[in-house]
Chains A and B, each alone.
Chain A
């Protein structure tokens, strides 16, 4: 079975559609959206419509911190991250808000645990940037019976943490398009990157495809129409910073 892992779409319908098309062409049979469907981007309604229309195909959808903020916008804007939450909230109808609010923070799929941030307290939205945070998440995931893999997003970068022959976790930066063997006798944690707001200097959308028959994980980068996505942000009157970010990929 081929499972497409997509996270941090951030209201970017152009990027989402490009990744969905790419994943289908690569034989994806199931989709998992790992949270932060909205926030920052100008098309939250379209993104939710698209994802809600997929839910009959065993699709898994998780809640991210931005989804939570869109349901209940913070009263005072503390940082740039939460500055678009109120706008997003106003765009969504009651059905979409209720659906977003009903999403789980994590989900198990056989040997796989899916979570937006860290399995070590999903509601705390911890960032996994290094081996230490990855170890905490993987250790927490070990409490779930049979789990060997943890997939998440939140950090907008693609990385794979693995355990070598001895104790400690090691971080690996994958090469897009290369199928990496991830045999299930080892433990793995991966951040699959961001579909709708890449931050590594390349504007191409990120997602990952897991082949559970051969246990191979392929990280992908997909070119999409980021000019239109940036234009939509400016047209909606959202901060220019978020538009520029899509153009530059950082």
Chain B
């Protein structure tokens, strides 16, 4: 469709200025024609350049986007307003989100600071996680499709190549060949696999690499062979290009860029978790290496990649559910060995058979425990003391492949601190003692475990002391000793 003049009316919307004129579509700012108040936000109308009669891939992408936009919710996608009849006037009206695309940071004269990279990375990871929870994989993430709002949160744009696990994939057929933007697509997309949420993690990895180094990890391949490089090739380590980058950041970026999806972060939540807690990342050779991968290694992998076969992807929400972030609230005072033991058993069980699950051990201390004037109560010293005891507690749970991190939170309100932590980190399961953190569970008093259970954003496991210890303690139980079930 040709460019529309401002003032043109279309299906009850009045066209205003053209905001974007791309190869695939024009985007205009619009308002309702009958002057009724808007939906509470500015509106943008996207009109594909081709029409249904052209029957080209572009219009199918538009159909896909229009179907998916209608069901997506949350703050990380533009809100849907209306869609035109595809066979008559194809258009899509949605929220006009104000912000800057990621390209802005790439175009800046100074490369972004490590702090900025963290913020941008966390914002993208949260946005992608919210999308995956809705069973949708974006599959075309690139700097032009990531918008950063004033408040630092990310909004994902352009769902024309996306895949909703519960809808027929209209693009599946042409996907035998790669569809997407060559610089950012994941290896599995190169061989035609669609729907793996970890493909989006790869694209975030490419963008983080760009933010770190100003360069694309695999260049901008023009040929199929060039695109296949990422099946076997490690990109130049970012620290070779920018030596001041911390090794942990290189570790994160290169983990996102692993050719094998199973070796990447299993979900956006896991990626955000690492990026926001750099001191907890276990840096391996992947993070410290500044020389690049030797030719011999690449050659061997190239041979292997020739026969590489990708497994069909799991349903996104299922895939991210299988790698939960388990949080355990470890009390630090008024606590028996039996409780600590039972808590550890419960954690071991919930981590159980899920490789890739991660554990966050959290303890909340009162701000009064630290003091800026007394040396032995200085924040660092107090934190260190609690971190050490957390580590000791978790020691039996620690085995290779399990990711454990430790966090000492300072707050006067224990329940609120635990809830904030759980929400902020997309925690999937909270494990805590049923009768810990002060008061034992009682009928009418809202104890910390009850408060957390009532407002918890996720499943919570309240652990009771294991029986053998009760008996070892001797004597009959009194009512106030027993935990009240609820």
Compute how far the CA of A174 lies from the CA of B166 in the bound complex, rounded to whole angstroms: 7
Asked whether any CB of chain A lies closer than 8 Å to the CB of B168, the reply is yes
A sample of 13 more A-B contacts (CB under 8 A), given A164-B170, A185-B86, is A162-B170, A164-B172, A164-B173, A165-B57, A165-B170, A165-B171, A165-B173, A172-B169, A175-B166, A178-B167, A180-B166, A181-B167, A183-B86
Name 8 A/B residue pairs within 8 A (Cβ), A-sorted.
A162-B168, A166-B174, A170-B169, A175-B165, A178-B166, A178-B167, A185-B86, A185-B87
Q: Which residue, of A162, A164, A168, A175, has the highest number of chain B Cβ atoms within 10 A? A: A164
Compute how far the CA of A165 lies from the CA of B174 in the bound complex, rounded to whole angstroms: 8
Q: Mark A126-167, 1 if CB is under 8 A from B, else 0.
A: 000000000000000000000000000000000010101110
- Closest 4 A-B residue pairs measured CB to CB? A172-B168, A164-B173, A165-B60, A175-B166
Contacts of A170 in B (CB 8 A): 168-169, 172-173
Compute how far the CA of A185 lies from the CA of B170 in the bound complex, rounded to whole angstroms: 13
State the Cβ distance, A168 to closest chain B Cβ, in Å: 7
Given A181-B67, A183-B63, A183-B86, residue A166 in contact with residue B167 (CB < 8 A):
no
Q: Mark B55-66, 1 if CB is under 8 A from A, else 0.
A: 101001001000
Question: CB-nearest residue of chain A relative to B61?
Answer: A165
Contacts of B70 in A (CB 8 A): 181
Contacts of A181 in B (CB 8 A): 67, 70, 167
Compute how far the CA of A145 lies from the CA of B63 in the bound complex, rounded to whole angstroms: 25
Contacts of B169 in A (CB 8 A): 164, 170, 172
Contacts of B168 in A (CB 8 A): 160, 162, 164, 170, 172, 180
Q: Mark A176-204, 1 if CB is under 8 A from B, else 0.
A: 00101101010000000000000000000
Question: CB-nearest residue of chain B relative to A177?
Answer: B166
Compute how far the CA of A47 lies from the CA of B146 in the bound complex, rounded to whole angstroms: 56
Q: Give chain B interface residues in 155-193, CB to chain A under 8 Å.
A: 165-174
Query: B60, B67, B166: which contacts A164 (Cβ < 8 A)?
Result: B60
Residues of A near any B CB (own CB < 8 A): 160, 162, 164-166, 168, 170, 172, 174-175, 178, 180-181, 183, 185
Asked if A180 and B172 make an inter-chain contact with CB atoms under 8 angstroms apart, the answer reads no
State the Cβ distance, A59 to closest chain B Cβ, in Å: 29
Contacts of A180 in B (CB 8 A): 166-168
Asked if B173 and A168 make an inter-chain contact with CB atoms under 8 angstroms apart, the answer reads yes
Asked whether any CB of chain A lies closer than 8 Å to the CB of B52, the reply is yes
Contacts of A160 in B (CB 8 A): 168
Given A181-B67, A185-B86, residue A164 in contact with residue B167 (CB < 8 A):
no
Compute how far the CA of A73 lies from the CA of B86 in the bound complex, rounded to whole angstroms: 50
Contacts of B67 in A (CB 8 A): 181
Question: CB-nearest residue of chain A relative to B56?
Answer: A165
State the Cβ distance, A217 to closest chain B Cβ, in Å: 10
Compute how far the CA of A174 lies from the CA of B57 in the bound complex, rounded to whole angstroms: 24
State the Cβ distance, A242 to closest chain B Cβ, in Å: 33
State the Cβ distance, A5 to closest chain B Cβ, in Å: 18
Asked if A166 and B173 make an inter-chain contact with CB atoms under 8 angstroms apart, the answer reads yes
Q: Give chain B interface residues in 40-58, CB to chain A under 8 Å.
A: 52, 55, 57
Compute how far the CA of A162 lies from the CA of B170 in the bound complex, rounded to whole angstroms: 8
Question: CB-nearest residue of chain B relative to A172?
Answer: B168
Contacts of B166 in A (CB 8 A): 174-175, 178, 180
Compute how far the CA of A208 lies from the CA of B55 in the bound complex, rounded to whole angstroms: 30
Contacts of A168 in B (CB 8 A): 173
Contacts of A172 in B (CB 8 A): 168-169
Compute how far the CA of A174 lies from the CA of B168 in the bound complex, rounded to whole angstroms: 8
Compute how far the CA of A170 lies from the CA of B170 in the bound complex, rounded to whole angstroms: 9
Contacts of A164 in B (CB 8 A): 60, 168-174
Asked if A185 and B52 make an inter-chain contact with CB atoms under 8 angstroms apart, the answer reads yes
Compute how far the CA of A164 lies from the CA of B166 in the bound complex, rounded to whole angstroms: 15
State the Cβ distance, B70 to closest chain A Cβ, in Å: 8
State the Cβ distance, A38 to closest chain B Cβ, in Å: 33
Question: CB-nearest residue of chain A relative to B60?
Answer: A165
Compute how far the CA of A71 lies from the CA of B256 in the bound complex, rounded to whole angstroms: 65
Compute how far the CA of A185 lies from the CA of B88 in the bound complex, rounded to whole angstroms: 10
Question: CB-nearest residue of chain B relative to A178?
Answer: B166
Contacts of B86 in A (CB 8 A): 183, 185
Contacts of A174 in B (CB 8 A): 166
Contacts of B87 in A (CB 8 A): 185
State the Cβ distance, A184 to closest chain B Cβ, in Å: 8
Contacts of A165 in B (CB 8 A): 55, 57, 60, 170-171, 173-174
